[in-house]
Amino acid sequence: LRGAALVAEDGSSSLRILPVDIYGNNEQTTTFDVARGINAAVEAGARIINLSLGTDWSTPYLERMIASYHEQGVVFVGAAGNDPLPTPIFPAAYPQVVAVTAGSRGGTVADYANYGDFVDVVAPGASIVHWEDKTFLGSGTSYSAAYVSGITAGLASQTGSPLSQVEQEVR
């Protein structure tokens, strides 16, 4: 949860990114920290939450939290994982999360990306990132999920449609 896209309630075209750092100075985080980050983002007004992280085990607490916020109209977009296996990755594999995998230039699932019945969307899996006067090429389903989060926010802003309808269109 490196960031969450915000869409104004009135459907205006103002889009913002709300960074929510759940890692701090650590390379790993906990499910509790993920849940705290989701809660902080929703309390700050986020209506679309990008979950560019994952694990191969489900956590009932996190699943219930996501389901509850989803019922309240929050859209979740999650990275499907970077192992070329059909293994579900959570939280992307929860039914309330739009699970995104990475696509190749040829229009297939990228050779490094998870696939399977839990995946909802295929999106570009590489991006050029500019940071501290340097340029990097990054790849992975986290980039794909961020891309779909942005598309979802843009569609909601442009069309003024309810987020639930936009989520269905994206799926």
Of 80, 137, 146, 68, the C-alpha closest to 109 is 80
Q: Residues 90-129, buried b or exposed e (16+ Cβ, 10 A)?
A: bbbbbebbbbbbbbeeeeebbebbbbbebbbbbbebbeee
pLDDT tens for each residue of 79-121: 999 999 999 999 999 999 999 999 998 889 999 999 999 999 9
Query: How much is the pLDDT for 130?
Result: 87
DSSP string covering 100-129, please? EEEE-TTSSB-TTS--STT--EEEE-EEEE
Q: Give the mean pLDDT of 45-64.
A: 95
CA angle 115, 118, 123 (to 5 degrees): 55
pTM of the model: 0.88
- Answer whether residue 9 shows pLDDT above 70: no
